[in-house]
Amino acid sequence: MTIYRFSKNVTIGKHTIGAGEPTYVIAEAGVNHNGDIALAKKLIDTAVSAGADAVKFQLFNTDALIKADVKKAAYQVGNKTDSQSQYEMLKALEISADECKVLAEYAATKSIDFLVTPFDEPSLSFLATLGLSALKVSSTDLTNTPFLLNAAKIGVPIILSTGMSEQSEVDHAISAIHEACKDVVLLQCTSSYPAPEADLNLRVIRKYAEDYGVIAGYSDHTVGIGASPYAVAAGALVIEKHFTLDKTLPGPDHQASLSPDELISFMREIRRVDTMMGRNIKRVELCERENRLSLQKCLVASCHIEPGVAFNESNICAKRTGGVGIPANYVQSVYGKLATKLLNVGDIVNV
């Protein structure tokens, strides 16, 4: 197996992502602005209010992205009378490069990381000039090796989703970008809207971390708060989740996104899990210390012991003593030592 040397810690904006750090949460606005820059700014405000670390949008040139006659994906179809093509839908959801720059500047005033997923070469080229602290590459471009390499060469961290892909394709993508970019975050993802629970495969998160030595995370397409808290417990250091201002708005992603109130609850749950995960070093916690004294056992005489008699497994045993005496795990070091005074049953052993 190839040994990769990706960064163990990645910096995006003011945030450090790595083991022991709080989960980095990306609030995915995507195209839920419906092409309206004012709505996009409100999405940024909502992400800030909820406490997300980053807000992410999508940038694409529809003509460079898709043929005009491509049909919508099944989840994008609004109803049986919806005859709009995928090209027409995306054209209505475009934001311009200038508008993207305005949003980046607005996010900076709100002290939230601004991320963008480019879907075509012109958009990628523009973002290379924008000074972003990281780039997100969609699952749709995991197998687009030339595009992936160009993104990796920009010189900022790459967050790469892996939906709709085989293990061999992930292997190929990682191998392709390894030399160009060491700051990589690899996201497990199931590209179905919503994603069925039986197809989430959260164990892949830890496999990515172990196989490639990358920071691993999860792009969540489940309903509601969904799988993300469990993904954090499964090893995800980065979480991405769609949100909207109003689930009833027209557009392909609103219904499967979190509402503003749900986004607040979502962030609260992620931070609860962060707290529960704690550290990776076992120690006696402050809340346990009194119970430790009360409940753990020390050595006492199990029978009458005369001075000068050697301690052995027949004349001493372990009982709760309120923390007084020799802890029972030191019993082997006590065997063979001589009693220095008369001990009755239950007396605490000292040597």
Question: pLDDT tens, 1-60?
Answer: 688 999 999 999 999 999 999 999 999 999 999 999 999 999 999 999 999 999 999 998
Tokens (6 digits) for 45? 């405000």
Question: pLDDT tens, 156-182?
Answer: 999 999 999 999 999 999 999 999 999
Question: pLDDT tens, 261-293?
Answer: 999 999 999 999 999 999 989 999 999 999 999
What's the mean pLDDT when you consider all of the chain?
Answer: 94
Question: pLDDT tens, 93-112?
Answer: 889 999 999 999 999 999 99
What pLDDT sits at residue 348? 98
Do the beta carbons of residue 56 and residue 26 sit within 8 Å? yes
- Give the H or E element holding residue 340: none
The answer, as to whether pTM is greater than 0.85, is yes
Q: In this structure, is the dihedral angle defined by the CA atoms of residues 309, 310, 312 and 317, taken in order, positive or negative?
A: positive
Amino acid occupying residue 252: P
Judging by DSSP bridges, how do beta strands 113-118 and 135-137 pair with one another?
unpaired
Judging by DSSP bridges, how do beta strands 215-220 and 184-189 pair with one another?
parallel
Task: Report whether pLDDT(80) > 70.
Answer: no
